[in-house]
Chains A and B, each alone.
Chain A
Amino acid sequence: DTEVTQTPKHLVMGMTNKKSLKCEQHMGHRAMYWYKQKAKKPPELMFVYSYEKLSINESVPSRFSPECPNSSLLNLHLHALQPEDSALYLCASSRTLAARTDTQYFGPGTRLTVL
C-alpha cells in the first residue's frame, strides 16, 4: 500500500472558522510534509515532521498549526484564515527525511476555499 490519504477532499470555510485537514499513511514512513499549492504554481513547502517532531517550518503564519499525533497521522489546524489562503493543500510522506534517495509519496490534496 503506497497510498497517502487526505480528508476532506474539499473544504469551504469562513475567516472566523476553525477547521482541520487530516493526512494518513500506513507505509511506516517517519517523515511527513505539508505543502501549499496555488493555481498554476508549484507546490510550496510549509512544514516537515520527522519522527513525530517538527523539523522544518518554512516561516508559515501562525494561523496554520500542524500536529503529528503519531507516526501515521498528520493534521493541519486552520484558524482565522484569509481569502488568499485558498489553495490546494498537499500532504506527503517518505521513509525518512535524512536520505537523499527516499521517494516522497503525495496525497491527492484538500482543495480549500476561504470566504
Chain B
Amino acid sequence: DAKTTQPNSMESNEEEPVHLPCNHSTISGTDYIHWYRQLPSQGPEYVIHGLTSNVNNRMASLAIAEDRKSSTLILHRATLRDAAVYYCILKQAGTALIFGKGTTLSVSS
C-alpha cells in the first residue's frame, strides 16, 4: 500500500482556516486521495476525495500538488465540532481504506 505522512497534531483557533498537510511521495498514477475524519467516540466519516484537480464540497477543500506527491485539506472556518483525527488515505481499486496514524486537530475557542 502506498504510504502517507501526516503531522501527529495541529492546533487551530475557532473561525480560522486550517490547512492539514499530507505527503504521499510514492503515489501511483491511479491512486485517489481520500480524507476521512474521526470525531471522538464515533466511527470515521468521509470528508473529501480527489485525483488531480482541486476539489470543494460543503465540508472542506482539497488542494492537490501538481506532481501529486502532496495534498492539503483545507477547513475554511474551523469550529469546535471540527476537532477530530484527520486521515489522509490513498485508495486503489479493489482495496479497502487502510488508515495511517492521522493528524489530531485541536480547536480552541
A interface residues (Cβ-Cβ under 8 A, vs B): 4, 31, 33, 42-45, 48, 56, 90, 92, 97-101, 103-109
Contacts and interface: CB of A to CB of B under 8 A. Distances in A.
Interface of B: 30-32, 36, 38, 42-46, 49, 85, 87, 91-102
Q: Is the contact region of chain B dominated by helix, strand, or loop, or is it mixed?
A: loop
A104 B87 contact: no
A29 to B, nearest CB: 13
12 contacts: A42-B87, A42-B102, A92-B97, A97-B94, A97-B96, A101-B32, A104-B44, A104-B46, A104-B96, A106-B44, A106-B45, A109-B43
Interface centre among B43, B45, B93, B94, by most chain A C-beta atoms within 10 angstroms, is B43
Nearest to B30: A100
A107 B43 contact: yes
Contacts of B102: 42
Nearest to A108: B43
B31, B44, B93, B98: residue with the most chain A Cβ atoms closer than 10 Å: B44
Contacts of B43: 4, 90, 92, 106-109
